[in-house]
Structure 1
Amino acid sequence: MEAPPSTQSIDKVSALYNGRRALYAPSVIAEAARLLDALFETAERHGHTRTSDHIGELATAAADATASKHRGPKEHRQAAEIHELHRELTQAFTEEGLTTTRCHVRLGVAVEPLSDGPRWVGRTGLAVALYTNSGWELMVNTSRTRVFTIYAPATAEGAREVAAIVHSILRGTLPDPFRADAR
């Protein structure tokens, strides 16, 4: 079993990701933090300390490298893989207690808003799409919308993390990325 990342690295990676116009699954944050820990260990073997000013870019390198790994597939996904991931996402939304609804986004899975949560364009909820060449993409469930990438693995576990993020936005416990003051 892989060792958990250090709190210091989680904090550094989280601070970097929080300043970006995207959302990051907990597993991606942990993966980037573990990479940062490994980079710091290597730097320390070469006489640098974790607090050295001249190695501050290691956190950016770890965050960027990990995010790019989850931005999209190396090769285009086949229709069967997209269908399976949509099925996993639909199941994950259901497990989160969310209600799926008709989707206005191409290749997306949509959920209704919660009665006490934020609203978009009347009573519209959110949708998540996954394409042949993309990662998870969050949108308002309308035909014209802004898009926010959710960096998460394209796996069943990643679908569960995406569903949890969407649920948190619908509950209002995560900032609404579609609001101007959110980012």
Structure 2
Amino acid sequence: MTTPTTDSPARVRRIYDGHAGLYAPSVVTEAAALLDAYLATAEEHGLDRKAADDEGWLALAAAEAVARKYGRPATERTSTELHQLVRELTAALTAEGLEVVPTPVRMGVGVAPLPGGPTWGMNGGLAVALYTDSAWELMVNATRTTSYTIHAPATAAGAAEVAQMVHGVLRGDIPDPFRRNR
């Protein structure tokens, strides 16, 4: 894999910032590397990098291709895999210093709000869930809620990135995905 240029991660991040989901740093890095590979191929065909992606189609293609990779899994996860990932998420949230709380969300892990941070719903917290056929999903810790996909690997490292992102949302560092016109 090529090393991303300084500009490629910024271009991919701008694309992802316009989408409803949340995107882990590793996903941005992977999409930036794919964009650089697309641009290198364009150069091999005699095109200038700027001219090759003047309208941003290659950047969009790279961002979309990588995001899709972390959406629905190619095959459904087993219950053993799913429970292991939920345990890894719980450990990662705790390692982030977050309070894990009960949740009505099936296969979810509830997270208490942070003092001074934004709140949602009746109890103010969030929940993260992962299902046999889904990506990580962020939602308000409530029975009925809207979920937002967190594009991140379904691995221990991905669980750690999800925990960091949830912490960022709870602190208000990451734009609130539940707020209209974010």
Other-structure match for 1:141: 141
**Conserved? CA contact 2:105–2:142, under 8 Å:** yes
Matched with 1:97 is 97
Instruction: Tell me, in whole angstroms, the C-alpha distance in 1 between the residues paired with 2:61 and 2:80.
Output: 34
Task: Describe the superposition over 1:49-102 as per-residue Cα deviations: whole angstroms up to 9, x where unpaired.
Answer: 111166631111111110010002100000000000000000000000000000
What is the root-mean-square deviation of aligned Cα atoms in Å? 1.2
SS of residue in 1 equivalent to 2:139 = strand
In structure 2, list runs of 5 or more residues that go unmatched. none
CA contact (8 A) 2:123 2:141 kept: no
The answer to whether the Cα contact below 8 Å between 2:42 and 2:52 also exists between their aligned partners in 1 is no
Distance 2:150 2:53 in 1: 31
SS at match of 2:121: coil
* Paired positions, count: 181
Match of 1:72 in 2: 72
Taking the TM superposition and a 5 Å limit, the aligned residue runs for 1:35-114 are 35-52=34-51, 56-114=56-114
Amino acid at match of 1:46: H
Residue 174 of structure 2 corresponds to: 174
Instruction: Select between 143-152 and 47-56 the one with higher mean Cα deviation.
Output: 47-56
Q: Confirm or deny that 1:165 pairs with 2:165.
A: yes
SS in 1 for 2:49: coil
Instruction: Give me the whole-angstrom Cα distance separating, in 1, the residues matched to 2:174 and 2:21.
Output: 12
Q: Distance in 1 between matches of 2:135 and 2:83?
A: 14
Q: Give ranges in structure 1 of 5+ residues lacking alignment.
A: none
- CA distance in 1 between counterparts of 2:53 and 2:127 reads 42
